[in-house]
Amino acid sequence: MIINISILGSTGSIGKSLIDILKLKKKYIKINLLTCNKNYKELLHQAKIFNVKNLIITDSKIFDFIKSKKKYSKYNIQNNFDNLKKTFKKKNDYVMSSISGLNGLLPTFNIIKYTKKIAIANKETIICAWNLIESELKKNNTEFIPVDSEHFSIHFAINKNHISEIKNVILTASGGPFLNRPLDKFNSINIKETLNHPNWSMGKKISVDSATMMNKVFEIIEAKNIFNIPYEKLSILIQPDSYIHALINFNNGLTKMVIHNTDMKIPILSTIFSNDISLQKKIIKNYDLDMKKINNPKFQPIDTIRFPLVGIIKLLPKKPSLFESVIVLSNDELVRLFLNHKINFNDIRLLLLKIVKSKQFTKYKKKSVKKIDDILILNKYIKHYINLKLL
């Protein structure tokens, strides 16, 4: 049986991991669409392997360059996601949405109607527009599976249990590169140090978020949205090895603990080939239980002096609102400025806390997300505010 697949963001780390998995099932796979921003060489390499005709390159300069070359005329290359209806003759069986940042929001929303199942690795989609996404999923009878290791772990552990049976959920955090750095040395943190995560090989943006612990704030919001678990039942615990991803305590006294190595192929594989034992054995070859890590998980509470952004969790409204978008969009811009050497590491934390506590932005707790444009307009305003008012 042929599986029809599309990958949004196929040249990023998640996309490439999925491609590696699909290579082992190549004769059963038909890829309908691959997309990238700038990495056209990797995109064309993937397209050649799987004989993919439909490609999207969102960077305008790269798109114009590719379209000017006759040797690429055999491909149907687009610059945006406006023609999805013409691209898909029938529904995909599976879509991976792994475009990073706010750029993944609208494509994710728009492709839901064209797939039976969607795996989403884009945090902005789940945090900023979950009410819209959830409605679109129900409307089109599309199955959703989270890809993030923590949320996949919760999804896996809960299985068919009702949310009312859950006492609480604990997400784990490694603590990133600065878990043991002396506090008086935080002023000298540079970009290279920030990107040097001890356990995971990740993109620059998420590496910075891990270093500030902002990624865990996002994951708490995601868990609340995806599983409809109130914030008071969600918490974070440091587990430096990134070996234990989640602990789910049930009202009946039982606890499930989900463990896996720091390899994103594990959750990705389970979103698409959860019953393929032979494929799992090929990919998950050398992952026997690490008894040393189990016997000494090194659990520790979050140090809120070291990681002050975790305090943002207490500011979150119970109902979904545009305030969550304020947090995501402000952090995105501050991280961008840090990576461009415009601000230092401590500025990310100080300025973000200033923004989310100001009356100018706390008012968004009372404003609901009615359409994607609400978020896009807010993004422009926040960028303007940070660059003209705070710097």
Calculate the average pLDDT of the chain.
94
- Please state the separation of Cα 127 from the chain's center in Å: 10
Q: How many CB atoms lie within 10 A of CB 32?
A: 22
CATH number of 3-147: 3.40.50.720
Amino acid at the residue 125: T
Is residue 27 predicted with pLDDT exceeding 70? yes
How much is the average pLDDT of 150-166?
85
Res. 346 pLDDT band, cuts 50 70 90: very high
Two tokens, residue 281? 């054995």
Q: How many CB atoms lie within 10 A of CB 327?
A: 24
Res. 38 pLDDT band, cuts 50 70 90: very high
Res. 280 pLDDT band, cuts 50 70 90: confident
DSSP state of 98: -
Confidence (pLDDT) at 70: 87
Q: What is the location of CATH 3.40.50.720 in the chain?
A: 3-147
CATH number of 317-391: 1.10.1740
Res. 286 pLDDT band, cuts 50 70 90: low
Residues 6+ apart with CB under 8 A from 253: none
Confidence (pLDDT) at 227: 94
Residue where the block lists tokens 């878990």? 179
Cα 329 to Cα 317: distance, rounded to the nearest angstrom: 17
Cα 230 to Cα 68: distance, rounded to the nearest angstrom: 52
Confidence (pLDDT) at 43: 97
Q: What is the location of CATH 1.10.1740 in the chain?
A: 317-391
